[in-house]
Structure 1
Amino acid sequence: MDLLARSLREAPIIEKGDYHYFVHPISDGVPMLDPKLLREITIGIIRKAELEGVDKIVTPAAMGIHISTAVSLMTDIPLVVIRKRQYGLDGEVNLSQVTGYSENEMYMNDVYEGDRVLLLDDVLSTGGTLRAITEALGETGADVADIVAVIKKDGGSNEMDEYPVKTLINVDVVDGEVVITDEQGDG
């Protein structure tokens, strides 16, 4: 994860209240995303994730989409995007996302009882997004095969009680800079 580590060390930091937020192409879409970085991350996810018997990749909009699309293309596993717009389609599941800096209603379709899913996200910070999604998946009767977040921001209440989250790299923000705390991530 050489490119990922380097790009994180160079990431600008902004403050939203008490929250120190790094701006990165994987989590924010700026600066532009180098295809080599996306390829490195995709290969890292495929190597780390439990893919055996997975029926669907599930990801939240918007910043999980590019990562999950790349993994879907490489594995031929269909992709389900949890979105912020309600359509009222049959089987739509409503979930409430609460993070350290926002609250949103999100909506999921096309996940059913017995589906074995891989949950992918860009950053594990507060755990609010992943907790909301795993609760919704549980309500549908889906089986969570694995959860992978590209980046884990240390220091938050980001531990998932029922599901361990694998990460590619762990970071913290110290004195206005991103510090790599584990170049191998968790799991």
Structure 2
Amino acid sequence: MASEDVDDRIARISSSIRAIPDFPKPGIMFRDITTLLLDPKAFKDTIDLFVERYNDKNISVVAGIEARGFIFGPPIAFAIGAKFVAMRKPKKLPGEVISEEYALEYGTDRIEMHVGAVQAGERVLIVDDLIATGGTLSAAVRILERVEAEVVECACVIELPELKGRDRLGEIPLFVLVKAEVTDDSVELLTKEAIGELPEEVDGSV
């Protein structure tokens, strides 16, 4: 795949994401992916870039975080031949669950997964639309590690790097397409070289 083609797709994805000032509170620049979903080409580009990265990496589970991880996760799972597992907010899953608490700005919340949905030794990709402080993603990692699954990588469309969510993931790699600022509408488009390949230690190919 030519580097220019990858770069063009990332630029199209970025331009389709709407920035809304002062939401949900003054001073915050909210990144709205619903406008990306209105653009079939940009949405296809997003899924294609993830699939190209994770195809042939022996990933057996794509875990999507409620709610926007449910948008991106299933088409990725379908394309790479993996099962999709929903990681949901409390009291949303009907069966027996395993849960993990994480900190919010004020208070705490939990994320849950059905017991038995992921087996020990399965290779898992965690998907969400955006990483900010990293609380939800790190809680998802802890749940999967408790069931002795192997978390290959976390993947998001957008990262807000100044909130340092990447740091909370520890040694778990994070892959994003667009880096954005919290308080203004500037973005950093990642080139193919900046995106990089999966490191060898998480490459499942034989």
Give the TM-score category using the shorter length. Answer: 0.7 to 0.9
Amino acid at match of 2:13: L
Amino acid at match of 1:78: K
Aligned residues: 180
- CA distance in 2 between partners of 1:120 and 1:156 (Å): 19
- CA distance in 2 between partners of 1:21 and 1:150 (Å): 16
- CA distance in 2 between partners of 1:13 and 1:131 (Å): 27
Matched-pair contact (CA < 8 Å) for 2:122–2:150? yes
* SS, match of residue 94 in structure 1: strand
2:88 is the alignment partner of 1:83: yes
Matched-pair contact (CA < 8 Å) for 1:14–1:23? no
* SS, match of residue 73 in structure 1: helix
Normalised TM-score (structure 1): 0.83
What 5-or-longer segments of structure 1 have no aligned partner?
none
Greater Rg, structure 1 or structure 2? 2
Normalised TM-score (structure 2): 0.76
- CA distance in 2 between partners of 1:100 and 1:186 (Å): 30
Q: Cα offset for 1:18?
A: 7.0
Partner residue in 2 for 1:5: 14
What 5-or-longer segments of structure 2 have no aligned partner?
1-9, 197-206
- CA distance in 2 between partners of 1:56 and 1:167 (Å): 19
Partner residue in 1 for 2:32: 24
Deviations 1:49-92 (A, max 9, x none): 375111110011111111112212322211001011434624x2
CA RMSD of aligned residues (A): 2.5
2:176 is the alignment partner of 1:167: yes
Partner residue in 2 for 1:129: 136
* Structure with higher helix content: 2
- CA distance in 2 between partners of 1:18 and 1:181 (Å): 23
- CA distance in 2 between partners of 1:132 and 1:13 (Å): 28
Identity of aligned residues (%): 21
